[in-house]
Amino acid sequence: MVSSLTSGQTMLDILKLMPSEHFGEIIIDSLIKNNKFYPTRNSEEEIIKYTLTDVNDTTGTLRIEMTFETGQRGFIIRELRRIKVKDNEFIIVYSVINGAPIAFGQSELITYRLKRGQLTKTKQSLLPSNIGLADFVKPNTPDSVIEKYSGYSNHSYDLTYSGDNICYVLYESFDSFGIDKSWLLGNKIQFIFERREFKRGSPSFSEE
C-alpha cells in the first residue's frame, strides 16, 4: 500500500514509462484516454480489442486485456505491479500471459526498478521463470500423474488478484473430471517482497 505518490509513480505514469516494445500495436495514450483501443488492422472477420482495467494506485496494479469481439477465444493479458522498496523507489513487475481459456501460460516476466522517475530493467529477473507444475506436486509423484495433471491445468503468475503478495497459481479442473488431487501440495505459491528481494513460500491451497 502506498500512502502518497509523487509525479511519475502512479500506475498510469508507470505505464507511460514502460518500453514501447512491450505493447506492440497499442497506442498507449489512446488506451489511457478511452480505456480501450482498437488496432487499425481490424477487419469484419477479426476485431481485436485492448481493454485497460484494474488500474489501482492503492494496490499498485494495472491490467491490459486483449480479446476478440468476433468470437475467437484467444487472449493476451499484460499486467503491471508496483511494489514499494522505500520512498521514491519501487520494483515494477511486468507479466504477459497468453493462450485460450482451455490452454494458456506465462510468456514473459520482467522486473524493473523505478527510482526517482527513472525506469531501469534489473540485471536479472527478481522472480523465477522456471517454475511450473512440478513445483505443485509432492516429491516422488509418478510421471503418469504429472502427465495427467498437465492435461487439465494451466499455471501462471497473478500480479493483480493476490492481495499484498505476488502468486504463481495453478489453475486446475481436476474435480470436474474426477482426477485424484492427493498428489498436490497446493494451488498457489506466494512471493513476498522483503529486504529488496522476493521470498518464495511453500505451495498452499487458496482459501477461496
Residues 92-103: tens digit of each pLDDT: 999 999 999 999
User: Is the confidence at residue 39, as pLDDT, over 90?
Assistant: yes
Please give the residue range of the domain that contains residue 91: 1-125
pLDDT value at position 159?
95
Domain count, the chain: 2
The C-alpha atoms of residue 102 and residue 160 are separated, in whole angstroms, by 21
Are 110 and 143 members of one domain?
A: no
| Arithmetic mean of pLDDT, 191-207 | 91
Looking from the CA of 97 toward its CB, the CA atoms found within 13 Å total: 20
For the segment 178-193, the average pLDDT, to the nearest whole number, is: 96
Same domain, 48 and 110: yes
Q: What is the mean pLDDT of residues 168-190?
A: 96
Output the DSSP codes for 18-77: S-GGGTTT--HHHHHHHSEE--TT--SS--EEEEEEEEETTTTEEEEEEEESSS---EEE
Residues 50 and 73 in one domain: yes
Residue 141 and residue 115 in one domain? no
Query: Of 108, 125, 142, which closes a domain?
Result: 125
All three cell numbers of 63: 491490467
3 & 85 share domain: yes
Give per-residue pLDDT as tens, 94-152.
999 999 999 999 999 999 999 988 999 999 999 999 999 999 999 999 999 999 999 99
Task: From 55, 57, 48, select the one nearest 76 (Cα to Cα).
Answer: 48
Backbone angles phi, psi at 60, to 5 degrees: 70, 45
Do 167 and 120 lie in one domain? The reply is: no
Q: How buried is residue 120: exposed, middle or buried, by Cβ count under 10 Å (0-12/13-18/19+)?
A: exposed
Instruction: Quote the CA–CA distance of 61 and 83 in Å, as a whole number.
Output: 9
Q: Which of 101, 125, 149 is the last residue of a domain?
A: 125
